[in-house]
Amino acid sequence: MSIIQYSGTHSVRPSRVRLKTAAIAFVFSMLTPLAAHADCEVFDPLIHEEAAFKFDPGGMRSALYRAGVSIGGAYVAEPFYNWGGFDEGGEYQGVLEIYVNADMHKLGLWKGLCFHTNGYQIHGNSITAANIGSLMPVTSLEAVDATRLFEIWFEQTIVKDKLKVRVGQLAADEQFILSEGGGFFLNGTWGWPSITAADMPNGGPAYPLATPGVSVSINPNEKWGFLVAVYNGDPAPQCNKAGGDPQRCNPHGLDFELDDPPLLMAEGGYTYNPDGRRGIIKVGGWNHFGDFEHQRFDSGGALIAVTGETGRPLDNNWGLYGIIDQLIWRVPGSEDPKGIGVFARFIGAPKDRNLIDFYFDGGITFSGMIPGRPNDGFAIGFAYTGISDHVGAFDVDFGEPVGRNYESLIEICYTFEVKQGFVIQPDFQYIWQPGGNVAGVDDAIVVGARSAIGF
């Protein structure tokens, strides 16, 4: 999941209309529900729209561009302060991303073959881990300090851009369960939601941990799109025996695991455009073919809080979701659809084998509303993370006076474009019951900002 994603004249798939720098993300048009772009993302560094600083030392980047290769990146700074949680205080985190894109046809191979890789240098402290303990992380970039590879893949276009096959180390949060409206916000749950992060082994194939996989997108026309992918189902399986943080178990993103039970994901989307007010509906789901455990009862049907045994073995884990994005009022004359939009996501998973069995988010967004500032945006959103009844009952079985039940969030965010490729996003969040109603953890107020510079 690239920090800053760039647009050309082509349409942009939802994975490019997402989270990390919302001001840049939401100005992209999403002309097809799951379509990938028509050409490889190779950009001239001297005219790159989303680069605030156009570095070209010695003409090196221009020479690479002429050969079919582009190199660029972004730096994101995030200072935040919180009241409540389990500790009050402020934290800073910074992330430097470097990417390489290549048109392999220009490099001497066949037409339609593209290459992409990106990596991060992550430093500072996660305010969620240090002070709050919420299931929905304050920002989508929070991670353990590391210098790591993220994605590296080849993508082949087939049948006049209607079929694309991507193979390599992939991140599911780059392609699946994405809402255009969610891209305005900073909290991590608007991208890879808390339900998938909690229910999939070690967080699933999502920032900052990608896994080997294959994805296929089919776009028969501008209205319909279909996407299916298979991933290695665990980005850090070594943690399952040793315990610990999966980001530390796979510290540099170089553990290309291939022998874990697979994760299958599928999504279909439909785009409609009544009177220029674009709407997008998506329906999808996943199935993890691994082994899971009952959250309350052991193999003999007894309470695991009493026996201390592991939960009853269960085969597979799955979830279903639906997403809608709708522009309800369009700024007259706006080339890219801008105006007032609403969005919502609903996600469910089995309660017997998961920490989270229901998730919802939704909100309202305003883009291009201020004369002379077409790329500014304002958004208000609400997210709800529902804890499984079995988990709440386990807490009571274990002696807690009240079991975990839910965590919820309201976020208000404004995106200010200082110049092309440089945005600042002041942000306010209120988190109810961080961790889902955990003793000693108070509701949290969080304020801060993100600044992002592309180069």
3-state SS class at 141: coil
Q: How far apart are CA 339 and CA 126, in angstroms?
A: 33
Note the residue count of the chain: 455
Render pLDDT for 358-368 as a digit per residue (tens, 0 to 9): 999 999 999 99
C-alpha torsion sign, points 131, 132, 135, 137:
negative
In this predicted structure, what is the pLDDT of residue 33? 31
Band of the pLDDT at 159, cuts 50, 70, 90?
Answer: confident
Whole-number Å distance between alpha carbons of 349 and 358: 6
> Is the pLDDT reported for residue 243 higher than 80?
no
Residue appearing with tokens 């943080």: 245
Task: Output the furthest CA–CA distance in the chain (Å, rounded).
Answer: 71
Quote the CA–CA distance of 387 and 194 in Å, as a whole number.
11
Q: Which residue has the higher pLDDT, 311 or 161?
A: 311
pLDDT recorded at residue 275: 80
Q: How far apart are CA 316 and CA 377, in angstroms?
A: 41
Residues 41-94: tens digit of each pLDDT:
898 888 887 788 888 888 899 999 999 999 999 999 999 999 999 999 999 999
Long-range contacts of 270-273, Cβ-Cβ distance < 8 Å, separation of 24 or more:
270/33, 270/223, 270/224, 270/225, 271/30, 271/31, 271/32, 271/33, 271/222, 271/223, 271/224, 271/225, 272/223
Instruction: Give the other-Cβ count within 10 Å of 329's Cβ.
Output: 12
- pLDDT of 133 > 60? The answer is yes
Q: Tell me: pLDDT of 15 over 60.
A: no
pLDDT band for 242, please (50, 70, 90 cuts): low
Beta-ladder partners of 428: 412, 447
Supply the Cα-derived Rg of the chain in whole angstroms.
Answer: 22
Higher local confidence (pLDDT), 159 or 136: 136
Q: Give the amino acid at 282.
A: K
Cis peptide before 201 (omega within 30 of 0): no
- Please report the pLDDT score of residue 50 as a whole number: 77
DSSP 345-358: EEEE--SSS-SEEE
pTM attached to this predicted model: 0.90
Token pair in block for residue 171: 């991140």
| Angstrom distances, CA of residue 103 to CA of 14, 57, 212, 286 | 21, 22, 21, 32
Question: What DSSP designation does 131 have?
Answer: I
Query: What is the per-residue pLDDT for 36?
Result: 35
Model confidence at 245: pLDDT above 90: no
Residue 91 Cα distances to 146, 188, 216, angstroms: 17, 16, 40
pLDDT exceeds 70 at position 112: yes
Distance CA 446, CA 128 (A): 10
The H or E element spanning position 150 is: strand 146-158
Q: What are the pLDDT digits (tens) for 408-436?
A: 999 999 999 999 899 999 999 999 999 99
The two three-digit tokens of residue 276, written as one number: 């220029």
In DSSP terms, which residues pair with 117 in a beta bridge?
Answer: 100, 152
Rounded Cα distance, 173 and 1, in Å: 7
Q: Which residues lie closer than 8 Å to 83 by C-beta, 6 or more apart?
A: 444, 445
Mean pLDDT of 171-198: 97
The DSSP call for residue 206 is B
pLDDT at 52: 87
- φ, ψ dihedrals at 82, nearest 5°: -130, 150
Confidence of residue 298 (pLDDT cuts 50, 70, 90): very high
Q: By three-state DSSP, how is residue 1 classified? A: coil
3-state secondary structure (DSSP) of residue 271: strand
Detail the DSSP E strand segments found in 368-435.
377-387, 406-419, 422-432
208 upstream amide cis, omega within 30 of 0: yes
The C-alpha atoms of residue 130 and residue 448 are separated, in whole angstroms, by 15
Assigned token pair, 225: 């799109």
Give the contacts of 320 (CB within 8 A, at least 6 positions apart): 283, 284, 285, 347, 348, 349
> According to the model, what pLDDT value does residue 239 have?
83
pLDDT at 98: 95
Residue 191 contacts residue 184 (beta carbons within 8 Å): no
Mean pLDDT of the chain: 89
Phi, psi of 390 (to 5 degrees): -65, -35
Answer whether residue 407 shows pLDDT above 80. yes
Q: Spell out the domains of the chain, with CATH numbers in brackets.
A: 14-454 (2.40.160.180)
**Mean pLDDT, residues 312-331 taken together:** 96
What whole-number distance in Å separates Cα of residue 138 and Cα of residue 145?
16
- Percentage above 90 pLDDT, the chain: 78
